[in-house]
Amino acid sequence: MSVTMISILFSVHVAFPDARHHTRKFFRISYYNPITGTFALGWDDIWFVFYWIIVFTGARCFTMDYILSPIAHRAGIHKKKAKVRFAEQAWILLYYGLFWCIGMNLLINSPYWLDLRALWRNWPIREMEGLAKWYYLVQFAFWLQQIVVVNIEERRKDHWQMFSHHLVTCALIFTSYGYHQSRVGHLILVIMDPVDIILSLAKILKYLRLQLLCDIAFGVFIVVWFITRHIFYPLVCWSIYKHIPEEISYGCYSGSDSDLHGPQPVPEDWDHLTQPFRDPVGLVCWNNNIKWVFLGMLLALHGLVLLWFVQIVRVAYKVLSGQPAEDTRSDDEDEEEEEDMIDVIDMASTEKQGTGYINQVNVGAESRPFIEKEVLSTDQQFADGKAKSPTRKSSRRRGEGQSSGVNLLAGSDRKELLGRIGCDKPTNE
């Protein structure tokens, strides 16, 4: 379907020159200023976002089916379910790895590199560099896709938490873009991405049966989570509270960057709140109320992240207590329980937000991002097509467990920590 829609757009673009004024909005970012070489913002950007939602859908399915699944097979992963999960995590690793590199390149070369005050200086900056605008809109497309994904995949225990998170994230991206606060959104995207990269890598190592490397990756994952999401992210929130009143002159502004007027008094009506989304040079306002709306949503997202981290620490504490592993389940039972397990370390990833990004990851079960219809039908087949096999006695004795030299296993009365990311047991062929 994705290929069909893209093919139709390209065909119309090539065959009908008179229509290119409209079709080019899907393929190229709009509102180019030839004098400055930068791009303004406007409603035509939504067509570009819509195009990239389609691209992500098609690219994920093609990459998983024709590139990543064959790689999994060559690596010795022969079970269909394991190959699907390997491909899912490899796709996530590719996506976040690529976009984190792009984001870091933009950040290092930006005026707000290692300078939180510069995030707010000279606001509003009404035009963006081409790559910066492309990066922000493509990330927005990804998170809009996530809203669809979380509602079409099999419901999990944290469905409403994740759905609410995605709505808030997309609202932050959209409003921060319209209110010319994409600099702080860009920074938070870069802060949040490393966690998802490392987690996907850990799960891939599990499927490749590289147990020691999986253990190490999970340890790095916890450290990076704490540093990025509970040190760097709160620093950005603190900067909103502390630096915005010092760097931004409250009021309303109008005009382009080269002809900016303001600050002007804030109008009494509500119309000025939507003008930034309707008119690239229209009225855009900033005051204490708007600041607290943004900050409140970011703190709410951090509250979710903090809750997940408390759960991570609680499980890690129990696991590192050194209790022996107990596993009386057969391989079939273990897989069946894993299929229905909801992870405590589910994140949202995210926080890819315009001003707050929490990226979602599903640890230990199937990958949450990018689940399109084709993959979902495969996963549903696994869930619905399971026949209840006769219970087999485990070949392991009670109390026996395997370790890579780091005791990360607990008792059978709770899910082992590495089991949260799929590191508890190698994938059988």
pLDDT string in tens for the chain (429-residue length): 666 777 677 677 677 777 776 778 888 899 999 988 999 998 899 999 999 999 988 888 899 999 999 999 999 998 988 998 899 899 989 999 999 999 999 999 999 999 999 999 999 999 999 999 999 999 999 988 878 777 766 676 777 877 877 888 888 899 999 999 999 999 999 999 999 899 899 999 999 999 889 888 988 999 999 999 999 999 999 999 999 999 999 999 999 888 899 899 988 888 888 888 888 888 999 999 999 999 999 998 899 889 888 877 887 777 677 643 233 223 333 443 344 333 434 433 334 444 443 343 344 434 444 333 333 343 444 334 444 444 444 444 444 444 343 333 444 444 444 444 445 554 444
Residue 33 β-bridge partners = 38
Domain residue spans of the chain: 1-28, 31-344
Phi, psi for 264 (deg, rounded to 5): -115, 160
**How confident is the model at residue 424, as a pLDDT?**
53
Rg (CA), the chain: 24
In eight-state DSSP terms, residue 236 is H
Give the angle 421-424-429 at the CA atoms, nearest 5°: 100
**How confident is the model at residue 38, as a pLDDT?**
94
Residue 428's SS3 state is coil
**How confident is the model at residue 281, as a pLDDT?**
87
Kindly state the tokens that stand for 204.
Answer: 């891939």
In terms of Cα–Cα distance, which of 135, 134, 163 is closest to 150?
163
Which residue shows structure tokens 């392991």?
396
Which residue shows structure tokens 């509602």?
151
Q: What is d(CA 226, CA 233) in angstroms, rounded to the nearest whole number? A: 10
Q: What is d(CA 186, CA 133) in angstroms, rounded to the nearest whole number? A: 10
Residue type, 289: N
Q: What is d(CA 69, CA 91) in angstroms, rounded to the nearest whole number? A: 10
Cβ atoms of 158 and 288 within 8 Å: the answer is: no
Kindly state the tokens that stand for 66.
Answer: 């024709």
**How confident is the model at residue 345, as a pLDDT?**
41
pTM score, two decimals?
A: 0.74
**How confident is the model at residue 368, as a pLDDT?**
40
Q: What is d(CA 297, CA 290) in angstroms, rounded to the nearest whole number? A: 11
